[in-house]
Structure formats: C-alpha cells, structure tokens
Chain A
Amino acid sequence: MNQYVNKKFSSQYKATIGADFLTKEVQVDDRLVTMQIWDTAGQERFQSLGVAFYRGADCCVLVYDVNAQKTFENLDNWRDEFLIQASPANPDNFPFVVLGNKVDMDEGRSRVVTEKKAKQWCTAKGGIPYFETSAKEDLNVDSAFQCIARNALKNETEEELYMPDTVDMNAQAIPKRNSSCC
C-alpha cells in the first residue's frame, strides 16, 4: 500500500497498530476516483476496535506471502471473516483481488506457493483476479491497483437510497458519489 500510494518501501518489520488508511486518486478510463485504502492490522491484538471499516467496502484485497505457506492457507479465513463482518448484499459476487507478494525474495528460490496453486484457489472462489507482486521492487503494484479500482467501480451499486422522514419539497436528486472505498 505504501509502495502504491507513496512509492516507499521498507523491509523492516513494523507491526501496524489499528487500521491504517491512505487515499489515492486514480484515473479509471475517463473517471477520476478517489480510492480509500484501509489496511487492517495483521496481529489480532492490534485490532481492538473491531473492523467497522469493512462495512461499505467496494472491493477487498487479500495479500499473502508467496514464501510462506501459512499466509496462503490463511486466505480462506480472511475472506470468510471479511464476508461475515462486511456482510455485503451479494457475497457470492463480491469483488476480491488476490496479491501474491514478495516474489522478489531470494530471487524466487524461497518461494513455496506456486502461481498455479494460487490461481487454482482464485478460480475455485469464483474467478478472483490474481496478481504476483513485489512491493519492494514495485512490480505489478500499479496494475494490481488499477484492477482493484475497476472492480470496485463495477461493484459500486446505487447507494441504498436514503430519504429523510420529513421530505423537503425542494429536495433535489442525490448526487452520485465518485469515491470508492477498498
């Protein structure tokens, strides 16, 4: 995320405390949209307030480390947890994107999850787009986020129409939001 938005990368391990948040303006075809990117804390102990920010998301990005089997196996849990907490209207078609990160590590020698395996998983989950990335080398990060933005926009259903109890006769149409959140 930091690579995408700020073009910065650090290999030092620093735990994220609470949910981190960045915004990025991105051009999708002829539209300029503002993406809000939320990064959830990986360690449960730093998730004390819960995940209210899942709700209303337009796309969910699942990232694992191709060099660590466990992180790949955890994708299922993260996906399920997201669907439970975000409770989207149409969970079967909710857009996910999967990123296999750290493909640069040790020039790929330490890799344990093959691309084929990851793609199989993605296909089994209803054809989730899959990208192999390296945040360190800035490999594929932009194109992944392009795809994320597109999927988010596709999902942007008409907001549940809200009308106040007392209707002001002068009220005009509700403006269409151009921002998406993921």
Chain B
Amino acid sequence: MEDHRIMTPQEEQVKWLQDASNSVKRNAFYMKRALDEDNLREALRYSAAMLVELRTSLLTPQKYFELYMQAFDELRHLEAFFKEEHSKGRSYADLYELVQHAGNVLPRLYLLCTVGSCFIRSKEAHAKDILKDLVEMCKGVQHPTRGLFLRSYLCQVSRGLLPDTGSEYEGDGGDINDALEFLLLNFTEMNKLWVRMQHQGSGKDRERRESERQQLADLVGKNLTYISQLEGLDFKRYQEVVQGRMMEQVVSCKDEIAQQYLMQCIIQGFPDEFHLGTLPTLLAALPELQSGVKVHLVLASLLDRLSRFAATDASVVDQFNSSDAFGQLLAAVTRVSEQHTEMPGADIAAMYIALANFVGAVYPDHVDYINRVLESCHEALAGHGDTKEDRTEKQIVALLTLPLNSYDPVTVLGLSTYPRVMSLLKPATCKAMAVKIVQTILKVGTEISEPAQVEMLLDFIAPLVADSPTNGEEDDDEDFEDEQGLVARLIHRLSAENPAHHYALLQTARERFSAGGARRLRHTLPPIAFAALGIVHRLAAAPNAEACEPSPKEVLQFVHQCAAQLAEAGDSAEMALQLFLTAAQSASGHACLEIIAYEFFEQAFILFEEAIPDSASERVALASITGALQRCRIFPPEPRATLVHKATGYSAKLLRKADQCRAVLACSHLYWQDAVDEEDVDHANNGEGEERSAGAEAENGASPLAENEEDGSGANPLQPPVQDGEHVMMCLKRALKIAHAAQQQLAVALRSSDTLPAWLFVEILNHYLYYYDQGLTSISASVLQNLLELVANEMAGENCQADAGLVAFYNNTLAHITAQKTKPEKASLYDVLQI
C-alpha cells in the first residue's frame, strides 16, 4: 500500500535511493546471469539498464555516491568478463565499438570507460589515445552531478594505467605529458561542471545547491591528488606546466566555493618544496580570488605547512631567506587587503595573525618582522569601517598577544608599531589587552630593568594604572581586585643587578602609580615599598654602605614617602602602619639608622593614635608595634625609653580588659630583650671591618662609630640587649591586676563571647615561667608557687573545666614544668615547684 503521508526530504531521499538501488540490483542480477550464459549482448543490455539509474536527478550527492558505489561494484563483474572474452580471442577494439551501441549517453560512457581501461591494460591500444578519446567523449554529459561522477569513474578505472614516467604504459602509450594532459583536462572539465552548478536553478535553492556543491568537492579535488602522485611530476614540470594550469582554472572560474576549496587542495596536496619554489605564483593568485573567499584560511594553511617544513631542517630557513619568503608573504597579504576593501576587518586581522604565527615559528631572531607585520596591519585596518566590531577587536587582541609569547615581551612592546595597532582598540578592549600584556610578562617571567621600559610598559597598561577620563563605567569590584593584583605582581618584575638602577625603576613606577587614586594605591604602593626595602637590605650588605648611591637612608626615605602616601590615601591606615614598622625594623636591623628608625616608629604611633578604625584592629596594631620595638636594638636608652613608654601606655587604652592584659604581658618583653646573638651583631656591623671582635662590642654601647653619628646618617652599632627586671615585674603585676579586675567585671555580667579570666591567668603563669627560666631574680620559687596555686584554684571552676581548649592549655603548661624537672641543668630551678 502506498503511504500518502507527506515524506520529509530525508525520507524521500532514502526511498528514492532504495528504489534506484533495487533496480540496480535487479539489472545486475540479470547482467550476471547473462555473463554466466556467455551472452554478451544481453549482459550489455542489462548493464546499460542498470547504469540508467545513475541518470537520476533526485538524489543528493552523498546518496548518489552510494548508488554509484553499488554500480561501481557491479561493473567489476563486467570487467572480469571482458578480460575473459579477450582471453578467448575477442579484441578490445571490437568491444570498444560494441558498447557504443547503448542507447543512452550516460550508460554508454560508463561502459566505454570500463572497456577502455581493459583496452589500455592489454596494451592493444596506446594509453594516450584511449585516454584522450575518453576524456573528450565525457563532454557528452553536461549535467553537473552525473558528469562529475562519470569523470570520477574515468579517473578511477584509469588509475595505474596512465603513461606516467616509469610506468609500463609509457613509451608508445605516451609519456608523462600525456598523463598530465589527461588529468589536467579532466580537472578543468570537472571544475567547469562544478562551477556551472552554482548558476543553475532558482535563487531560492541557493543554500541547498551550495551544500550539494560542497559535498561534490572531493570529486574535483581528487584529480589533484592523482596529479600529485605521478612519478614523473618533478618540480620543473610542476612549475612550468601544472601550477600554471591549475591556478589559471582556479582564478578564472571566479567562483568562491571552488576557489576556497581548490586553494586548500593545492596547498595540502602538493609537497612543501613545490610551494616554496613557486611561492610568487601561489601568492600572486591570492589577491585575484573572489572577495568572499576566506583568504586568511588559505594563507594560514600554507603558512602552517611552511613553518612545519622549516622545523624539519635548518637549511629550509636559508631557502626562505634567499627567496625573501617573508617579504613576499607580507606583500601578498598587503595586496589582498588593498584589493578587497570590503573584506571584513576580522578576516584582514586573521591574515596578519597567520603571518605573525609563521614569523614567530620560523624567525625567532627577527622581531623586526613582527614590526613590519603590525605596521602593515595598522595600515590595512586604520581606515577600515568595522575595526571596532567585537569580532575584529578579538582578532586584533590575538594579533597583539601572539608576539608577546614568541619574543621578549618588552622588546615587542617597544616596537614602534605596537601602540599604533593597539590604538585601534576601544578603551574597554585596551584594558583587556593591558591585562593580557601583564599576564604574559608574569607568565614568561620577563625582567624589566630600564626606567624607559617601565614608562613604556605603564603606558601600555595605563587603563590599569589610573582611571581614564573617557572610561566612566564602574568596574566590577572583583575584576578590579584581580587586575590590581596582577599589577602588584608586575612590580616584582622590575629589577636590576645594580641597586641604583633598581631604585630608579621603583621611583619611576611610584610616580606613575601615584595617579591611580586610593583604590589602586593600596595595591601598588606596598609592593613598591617592599621592593625598596629589598634594596635597603642589599645596600646595607655592601662593604661600604654609606658611600652607596643611593644611600640606604635615601631609599628608606622613599619607603617613608610610600607609607605616608598610603596613610593619606584613606582606608589603608593599618597597612601603612605595618609598612612603617617593617621599615623601622629594616632601618634598625639592616641599615643601622637610629634617627630614621625612630621616625618610622613615631609615624606608626601617630597612625595608631589617629587612624586605626576599631578596637580589634587596635589590638592587632599594638601587637605589631610591640613586636617590632622588642626586636629593635638600635636605640640608645633615652629614645628607647620614650618609645617603650608610649607603647606600654597604649596597652591601657585598649577597650577590653582581656586585650589590656595581653598587651601588658607583651609589653613586658620590651624590657627584656634576648641575649645577644653574636652572629647578628657581626652582620649588622660588617661595614666596620672585620678586625673588630664581636665580644668587645656586645659589652658597650659606645663603639667608635656611635660618635660619628651626628645627624643620623652614620651607621650605628647595635645597643646591648635591655634586661630590666624591675619593669618586667611591673608589667606582670599590672597584668595580674587587670586579670583580677576582669574577673570581677565578669562576675557582674558574664557574656558568652567574653574570654574566661582563667585564660588570662594561665597566660600570665606562662610569662612568669618564662622570666623565671630566664633567671629574673625578682621571681622566686615561692612567688611562682603562689601563682601556681592561684591558677589551680581558678581552673577548678566549672566554667573552666567545660572549656576544652583552656584545659589543654593549662595541662600543657604543667606538663612543661614536669618536663623541665627532668633536665639536669634546670632541675635546681624547677625541683622546688610543686604541682
């Protein structure tokens, strides 16, 4: 029963193919039966009937190909029979005549090709004559799809039968020229059929037609594979005959699809050496192609081949150079963009990308070539309408990013054309590009060692360094943080062997970053300041630090400016304070500059008093101050006392009792510095010559150098460590007092967030133990024993036992005492203590 439902085009195709296929099978069946019966006439009749199915116009090329393959297989039976007939004495000339009686031209030509191939193989006829005859006669079929498959059949059955050089059919059968002529003619005819297809039928079918043409492409391209496989095709013949004929056909057909495809075929199908040797001809064709052809794809595949070729053998690059391959390529690209003004900007840029890729792969020493590529690209795009389109911008960014990876990024950025191409981008894209530049430099690990390079680099990343007046839109906060993080990392790429040079780089950078506003300064100033402290360290380590240019003092002043600027920028007081403290330690420890170090502490104190926003931050800041001051050994007694007094005073101002208590405990250490580490002293004074003994210095505060220091510019020797038991005791007692006060306060109103006073007592106990161990005479064993009992009472409370952390802390403390008892050298101290 016939199904009357409307079929989809796919279903129709399947059905039509099925019908045609059945008919092929049926006729093939009768053909083969006739062959078995030795009935040539019947066999030919059925084979013609079978081949008539190939006259269908209903099938798409891919379906037609299936039908063709079926018929192709069946024709092999006929071919075998022809050979048999021949062995029985029938001449091929006879058969060649006989098959021409088929009524229809298409079956007739398939049969003729089949016999023709046998005829050539028998060598009863000259290959060149039969081939010429067949390739001419195929002109009888002018329907594109049928004609293309017929000619492809001709090619296939004559495979191996061409009078190629060294082939058994060479000689009387002709020579390589005949073989080439046959294939070139077939190629030309097929291309004409293929192109003509574009112009048949109505405009509304265009899309379908173009898709069918794409499917048929390989039938045309196949000829080129066969040409390229010929033994007799040497470079000379390729250059003199083949290339010209192919290119002529490609250019003159004026068909986009054909040009796009065939250029790829030529590039992929013939060897590298051929392309290199005929580059001018190949490139000359590019501007001649239709404007819709994606020349950048053609070019990219050519350049990809050439650069891989260059990688195989160093002599290839010499060949490139001697023929100025780069110059030729650049000129060709330039010509294409001049010729096709309507070409999309993105495609133009893509051509230059292909070229830049090639240059990067083949000419690692020729960054000047990149300059020329960019220059030409700028010219091509400067007047172009769609430069600001997203697609184009994306390509321009890719073009600018490429050489940063294949060459030294700083050198590339220094190319005169680089900023010009970058100026084609919209401000927002410039920013994205700036991010790419920074990322690449960080990835490659380039060192930036010239102030001019810093200037240049910052010009390129200007959108990251400061707000641009044209770019009003607010950035996403997270993006902003990420970008500034990158910039901060970039600062660590500024570096030079010579400290003076390095310092100059940082100065340049700071000047530029100053325009960035508070939001950026909090990211950019700290790395600059820390890099500068690194320089101080290097300078101080030099044998004659004070004679250095710049002096450590000068660099520290620079750090001071950075920190001060950061403090003024608002919202960054804590960071500025930390910076002052770090600088103070550097001034004290490395550079031995007392007055500078003092100034840094004063600045930190001012910030503490005026700018720290909340009590939690105050606690942290004070801890930092105490820590820094404790380690400083530069100050003579009087200035040191002033600083210590202030810091201790701050501890009383903290809001919570617990904080006060801990701060006072910390302050106790300001009166008790660790015993001298002789190596440190040596290091700090190594500017003084090595003959001075470390021991001599440890015992006095007045080394010869101290007298030199009139204005703070001379390096100071370190002071002996302060060990002031009286003040330590005052601190400890105050801490106990505060802890008791906290306990009382807590008894009035206990809040869950409060620290249990027992914590404070255990901490105090630990401090007592420390000083006891240090040999502080005011702490006797009985004092300690009393304290131990006090704490034990505290710990007995229910609240305390519920706090697992506290219990662990306390137990660890007791375990420490027990452990100390076992040490012979400590036994005398600890034995008396009872737990």
B771 close to A (CB within 8 Å): no
B231 CB–A CB distance under 8 Å: yes
B512 lies within 8 A of chain A by Cβ: no
Q: Which of A45, A52, A162, A165 contacts B69 (CB 8 A)?
A: A52
Of B30, B62, B224, B269, the contact of A49 (CB 8 Å cutoff):
B62
The answer to whether A49 touches B218, judged by C-beta atoms less than 8 angstroms apart, is yes
A129-182, CB < 8 A from B = 162-165, 168, 171-172, 174-175, 177, 179, 181
Number of interface residues of B (CB under 8 A): 44
Partner of A17, one of B80, B265, B272: B265
A156 to B35, CA, bound (A): 22
Decide: A14 near B225, CB < 8 A? Known: A46-B218, A46-B268, A56-B73.
Answer: yes
* Closest chain A residue to B61, Cβ basis: A49
**Which one of A5, A15, A22, A34 has the highest number of Cβ atoms from chain B below 10 Å of its Cβ?**
A15
Please name all residues of chain B whose beta carbon is closer than 8 Å to the beta carbon of A45 when the two chains form the complex: 264
Q: Is there a chain B Cβ closer than 8 Å to A8's Cβ?
A: yes
Within B23-51, the residues touching A (CB, 8 Å) are 25-26, 29-30, 32-33, 35-37
The docked-state distance in angstroms from the alpha carbon of A36 to that of B305 is 32
Asked if B229 contacts A14 (CB within 8 A), the reply is yes
Q: Say yes or no: is B217 at the interface (Cβ < 8 Å to chain A).
A: yes
A55 within 8 A of B: yes
* Contact status A12-B36, CB under 8 Å: no
Partner of A164, one of B26, B156, B265: B26
Q: How far is the CB of A172 from chain B (nearest CB, A)?
A: 6
Known: A14-B270, A162-B25, A171-B33. A46 touches B221 (CB 8 A): yes
Are B225's CB and A17's CB within 8 A? Answer: yes
State whether B30 touches A47 (Cβ < 8 A): no
B221 touches A52 (CB 8 A): no
Q: Which residues of A contact B218 (CB under 8 A)?
A: 17-19, 41, 46-49
With A46-B218, A46-B221, A48-B214 known to touch, is A14 a contact of B65 (CB < 8 Å)?
A: no
Q: Is the CB of A12 within 8 A of B271?
A: yes
Q: Report B221-237 CB contacts with A as 1/0, cut-off 8 Å.
A: 11011001101000000
Asked if B29 and A17 sit within 8 Å, CB to CB, the answer is: no
Asked if A78 is at the interface (CB within 8 A of a chain B CB), the reply is no
Bound CA span A63–B807, Å: 73
A6 nearest in chain B by CB position: B160
Bound form: Cα–Cα A22–B156 in Å: 9
Complexed CA–CA distance, A6 and B169 (Å): 14
Interface size for A (C-beta < 8 A) is 41
A50–B32 CB distance below 8 A: no
Q: Does B751 contact A (CB under 8 A)?
A: no
Q: Is the CB of A87 closer than 8 A to any CB of chain B?
A: no
Q: Is the CB of B32 within 8 A of A175?
A: yes
Complex-state Cα separation, A19 to B72, whole angstroms: 14
Task: Report the separation of the CA atoms of residues A22 and B214 in the bound assembly, to the nearest whole angstrom.
Answer: 25
B66 at the interface (CB under 8 A from A): yes
Residue of B nearest to A163 (CB): B29
The reply to whether the CB of A43 lies closer than 8 angstroms to some CB of chain B is: yes
Structural contact, B265 and A52, CB atoms closer than 8 A: no
| Chain A residues positioned under 8 Å from B73 (CB to CB) | 56, 181
User: Which residues of chain B come closer than 8 Å to A49, judged between CB atoms?
Assistant: 61-62, 65, 215-216, 218-219
Residues of B266-286 at the interface with A, using a CB-CB cut-off of 8 Å, are 268-273
Least CB distance from A113 to B in Å reads 21
Whether B646 sits at the interface, judged by CB under 8 Å, is no
Q: Tell me whether A17 and B222 are in contact in the complex, defined as CB-CB below 8 angstroms, given that A12-B271, A164-B26 are known contacts.
A: yes
Least distance between B237 CB and chain A CB atoms (Å): 15
Which among B25, B32, B156, B268 has the highest number of chain A CB atoms within 10 Å? Answer: B268
CB distance from A54 to the nearest CB of B (A): 10
Cβ–Cβ contact B76 & A164, under 8 A: no
Provided the pairs A18-B218, A18-B225, A41-B218 are in contact, do residues A52 and B66 lie with their beta carbons within 8 angstroms?
yes
Residues in A with CB closer than 8 Å to B62 are 49-50, 52
Cβ of B4 within 8 Å of any chain A Cβ, yes or no, is: no
- Alpha-carbon separation in the docked complex, A100 to B33 (Å): 43
Give 8 A-B contacts (CB < 8 Å), ordered by A residue.
A12-B272, A12-B273, A14-B229, A15-B225, A21-B159, A48-B218, A50-B62, A165-B26
Question: Which B residues are within 8 Å of any A CB, using their own CB?
Answer: 25-26, 29-30, 32-33, 35-37, 61-62, 65-66, 68-69, 73, 76-77, 80, 156, 159-160, 214-219, 221-222, 224-225, 228-229, 231, 264-265, 268-273, 305
16 new A-B contacts at CB < 8 Å, known A47-B218, A48-B216: A6-B160, A12-B273, A13-B271, A14-B271, A15-B225, A15-B269, A17-B268, A22-B159, A46-B218, A46-B265, A48-B214, A49-B61, A55-B69, A162-B25, A164-B30, A171-B33
A residues at B contact (CB < 8 Å): 2, 5-6, 8, 12-22, 34, 36, 41, 43, 45-50, 52-53, 55-56, 162-165, 168, 171-172, 174-175, 177, 179, 181
* 6 residue pairs, one from A and one from B, having the closest CB atoms: A18-B218, A15-B268, A12-B271, A17-B221, A52-B66, A17-B225
